[in-house]
Structure 1
Amino acid sequence: MEHGGNLVNRTIMLPASVDEAVEALAATSGAVPVAGATDLMEAVNAGRLRPAALIGLGRITELRGWRYEDGGTAVLGAGLTHARMDRPDFAALIPALADAARTAGPPQVRNVGTLGGNIATADPAGDTLPVLAALEATATLARAGAVRDVPISHLLTGLDPLRPGELLTWVRVPLLHAPQVFLKSTGRSGPARAAASVALVLDPARRGVRCAVGAVAPVPLRPLEAESWVAGCIDWDARGADGAVLIDPAALAAFGEYVAGACVPEGGAHGEGAGPVAVRLRRTVAVLARRALGRALK
């Protein structure tokens, strides 16, 4: 029972499979799927959400793991917890996502908070979201009699949103087998909400750089022009004495400024004007982008 009795008289269903969960969603108008409930309960307690029923996903074991798929893809269950993503086997597979999960909050949050919850809630400061955007991940959405795959970026921006009766089941992530980095700034020590974050991955096969900036806008932002420009500044065939991929230090610094200028406008990300808050945020994004690319090239 939660504050103010917000869940009193709410039906709670506990399906044991994806099919049962989808059937329950189709049969119950206003039902809301719930896994870790870290974000949902906050919304319920604050009165922003009053679900007619809750469909608990905790018994669906297939959604709590991950597997390989032909074609070089990792298929991640929507119920995969942040704590599970931080384990060494997963970190070796998708290190940027493991880094994001590691900083998602205190242990009690990471132990129950899920990847699917992060996506469905679409909090601008969600740590996994810029990583998924940079990796160009897709979401599998299931409903009675139908399944479809949607780019995570389309889901978050509302270009192709979650439809009534649909359940987010899987997240498909292309495995690049190349350096990837996630960095964030919170303005305080220890796990905390991001003021700005940057995910950056290299795609050597296409000689490309992918970058996504989180927390500075309602959805993660891809500075596509900055990505294309800096990819042309990298000597993909050469290596320095320490084995690092070569780039002019001036280009590295310019990339940070390019990303900041693209993602944090002169007026600030949240309408702060050209005051110190906006200036500080631009500087933070520039530093994060520069450091992320520098680490990825080492």
Structure 2
Amino acid sequence: MNRTIMLPASLDEAVEALAATPGAVPVAGATDLMEAVNAGRLRPAALIGLGRITELRGWRYEDGGTAVLGAGLTHARMDRPDFAALIPALADAARTAGPPQIRNVGTLGGNIATAAPAGDTLPVLAALEATVTLARAGGTREVPVSHLLTGLDPVRPGELLTWVRVPLLHAPQVFLKATGRSGPSRATASVALVLDPARRAVRCAVGAVAPVPLRPLEAESWVAGCIDWDARGDQAASAIDPAAAAAFGEYVAAACVPDGMTESGPGGAHAAALRLRRTVSVLARRALGRALK
């Protein structure tokens, strides 16, 4: 079936094309598009290619300590040293997002729009409490990434995801993930953890274990009270008791892999859920330990 393909050269042109063509699907890296089309999950009436819009492929600083990331920013670009120094956890997630051919074309905006449960950047954005800008003819609006992913405030017809705003904490942050095999592959579980010393807070998000990243808010609050935020120098590495770090891992795992998932069931479901809980516990404990080094 023939489909219309539009290639706007500017953000304004893209928004206008989307408004004029109901049912059109914006596409950048297209790493998930053909899979969805071939599987019959997507039958777009038209495609709006965003590859020519250079302004969406970069990033900039904004007053107030925020980085504004273009939705067309590729995983490979986020892995470069200058970006990694700015948002380390997002660079770590981008580095493990897949083989080079995927990282070279896959984009941050595509990861958010696709909202696959195992999307590597999603728990990082949730932990950083990032927001996105949605543009449409006549205006824009800001939406928390977590609201977008959970459907509390989804993308509306005619809207285009253009920017991702990430607070710059200038503090340790970590992304870790577990996979079923060696090398770049889909996560079976992932954990993003960031420290916010100014607020004496810990923010954590767990990915791949549910349809959307999960925030164990009670575990965050509890472990923040266990950290010696005033530790300096050699004492910083022991800013939390090892037993508390281990307990934090268990707390996060229990919150994100609830008891209902570990009930006995056919086909070894009980054992698989227990393994998943153990994996999340280890990832959370290690992420906290690395952040506090």
**How does the TM-score come out when normalised to structure 1?**
0.94
Q: Distance in 2 between matches of 1:260 and 1:136?
A: 20
Q: 1:252–1:290: 8 Å Cα contact kept in structure 2?
A: yes
Alpha-carbon distance change, 242 to 188 in structure 1, aligned in 2, over 3 angstroms = farther
Write 1 or 2 for the structure with the bigger share of helix. 2
In the comparison of the two structures, how many residue pairs are matched? 286
Percent identical pairs in the alignment equals 91
**SS, match of residue 69 in structure 2:** strand
* Ranges of 4+ aligned residues in structure 1 off by more than 6 Å: none
Q: Distance in 1 between matches of 2:197 and 2:238?
A: 11
Q: Distance in 1 between matches of 2:6 and 2:238?
A: 53
TM-superposed deviation, 1:115: 0.2
Q: 2:236–2:292: 8 Å Cα contact kept in structure 1?
A: no
Q: Distance in 1 between matches of 2:220 and 2:117?
A: 22
TM-superposed deviation, 1:239: 3.4
Q: Distance in 2 between matches of 1:77 and 1:240?
A: 37
TM-superposed deviation, 1:242: 5.8
Q: Distance in 1 between matches of 2:74 and 2:233?
A: 39
TM-superposed deviation, 1:269: 10
Kindly indicate whether residue 201 of structure 2 is the aligned counterpart of residue 192 of structure 1. no
Q: Distance in 2 between matches of 1:17 and 1:204?
A: 40
Q: 1:65–1:80: 8 Å Cα contact kept in structure 2?
A: yes
Q: Distance in 1 between matches of 2:147 and 2:269?
A: 21
Alpha-carbon distance change, 50 to 146 in structure 1, aligned in 2, over 3 angstroms = same
TM-superposed deviation, 1:238: 1.8
Q: 1:179–1:296: 8 Å Cα contact kept in structure 2?
A: yes
Kindly indicate whether residue 257 of structure 2 is the aligned counterpart of residue 293 of structure 1. no
Alpha-carbon displacement from aligned partner over 1:224-280 (angstroms, at most 9, x marks no partner): 00000000000101236364251011100000000000000123999xxxxx10000
Structure 1 unmatched ranges of 5 or more: 1-7, 271-275
TM-superposed deviation, 1:45: 1.3
Q: Distance in 1 between matches of 2:25 and 2:215?
A: 30
Alpha-carbon distance change, 121 to 269 in structure 1, aligned in 2, over 3 angstroms = farther
Q: Distance in 2 between matches of 1:75 and 1:44?
A: 31
Alpha-carbon displacement from aligned partner over 1:18-51 (angstroms, at most 9, x marks no partner): 1100000000011000000001111011111000
One of 282, 289, 292 as aligned partner of 2:277: 282
Q: Distance in 2 between matches of 1:252 and 1:58?
A: 44
Alpha-carbon displacement from aligned partner over 1:170-211 (angstroms, at most 9, x marks no partner): 000000000000000002100000000000000000000000
Q: Distance in 2 between matches of 1:49 and 1:187?
A: 28
Q: 1:138–1:151: 8 Å Cα contact kept in structure 2?
A: yes
Q: 2:136–2:159: 8 Å Cα contact kept in structure 1?
A: yes
